[in-house]
Amino acid sequence: MTDALSTLATRITGARRLTILTGAGVSAASGVPTFRGQDGLWRHHRPEDLATPDAFARDPRLVWEWYAWRRELIAACRPNAAHDVIAAWSGGADPGVRPPHTGRLKVAVLTQNVDDLHLRAGTRNLVRMHGSIWELSCWGRCAAGAAPWRDDRVPLTDLPPKCPHCGRIARPAVVWVGESLPAGDLDAAVRATACDVFLTVGTSALVYPAAGLVHEARQHGAFTAEINLEETPASAAVDLAIHGAAEQILPAIARLL
Ligand code: BJW
């Protein structure tokens, strides 16, 4: 394990461009449930009932109740040590963590998480591939309501919330399974695969297009590494797979830089 951490630290020290892709596992230590796995959200709910456009069209109130519950849960959570290290590496504020080599290293952070914990930790240059649970857009796609607006009321009452522009139902501005990612976000994520080190952290590597990015980075010649509690479909493809908790492994690497 120590060798693996040193190897990754050395790669980061020598890199000019570092890209970090994060998933639900990064927020697990903060108390945000993951999707898959033992205590994951999909243990109790079928994604097709709650996180698809069809599910919302069928029963917007049910879907909103699930999101309202998750918003309350997330509002009570705080960024953990993994968020703090990533924020510091990106040039954001955390005086407790030394950035790898200030000024020379360009860091991009791509997250699939809809919580705002990376932002609250101060992460810069962040692409939120699956949107934000704190933003809404118009389900009826009225012109003014197509652009997401922030609504951080907790608890959310009078479900489903309404579009302030046309009065029709609003939806969470997240990317559901079967929906396209906003083109700008996907382009930014793909561009970030042109890097020297691509690090994937706390994601099951099952959901595309995010799961394909590590392979693109490899094709660009990046050194690729994964940090996860368990094996994923990416484990065999990366140069270095580190099994452990993100909130412990990332601070340990930061101490080696
Ligand atoms: C720890 C830890 C700790 C725990 N430390 N680790 C190509 C092939 C096959 C299918 C497709 C494909 N291209 C597109 C698709 C279809 C689909 C897809 O990928 N389906 C798969 C499920 C098969 N993709 C899409 O629909 C995407 N759209 C798209 O591609 O448009 C074009 C298109 C459409 C249809 C067909 C073809 C093309 C959109 C995907 C949107 C995903 N949306 C969700 C919900 C967001 C809103 C919400 O939050 O409610 O995003 S689903 C859910 O999964 C959520 C997550 O962001 C996403 C990924 O999950 P993540 O983050 O990996 O979490 P988990 O729970 O899966 O894993 C956690 C991991 O952490 C585990 O491995 C743990 O071990 C680990 N862990 N604690 C380190 N402390």
Tens of pLDDT, residues 65-74: 999 999 999 9
Instruction: Give per-residue pLDDT as tens, 90-129.
Output: 998 766 777 776 668 999 999 999 999 999 999 999 999 9
Token match 């996860």: residue? 228
Please tell me the predicted confidence (pLDDT) of residue 102: 61
Q: Is 220 a catalytic residue?
A: no
Does 28 have pLDDT greater than 90? Answer: yes
Cross-strand partners of 243: 228
Amino acid identity of 63? V
Atom 10 (ligand 1): residue with closest C-alpha? 208
Q: Which of 45, 101, 118, 130 is catalytic?
A: 130
Nearest one of 46, 210, 235 to 113, comparing CA atoms: 210
- Give dist(CA 104, CA 61) in Å, integer: 49
CA-wise closest residue to 112 among 217, 22, 229: 22
Does 222 score more than 70 pLDDT?
A: yes
Helices marked H in 76-142: 81-89, 117-121
Sheet holding 106-111: strands in order across?
Answer: 126-128, 106-111, 17-22, 197-201, 223-228, 240-243
What is d(CA 226, CA 109) in angstroms, rounded to the nearest whole number? 14
CB 110, CB 202: distance < 8 Å: no
Query: Pocket around ligand 1: residues whose beta carbon is below 6 Å from it?
Result: 23-25, 28-29, 34-37, 40, 51, 112, 114, 130, 174-181, 202-204, 206-209, 227-230, 232, 245-247
What atom in ligand 1 is closest to the CA of residue 205?
63
Strands 197-201 and 240-243: unpaired
d(CA 177, ligand 1 centre) in Å? 8
Centre of ligand 1 to C-alpha 207, Å, is: 3
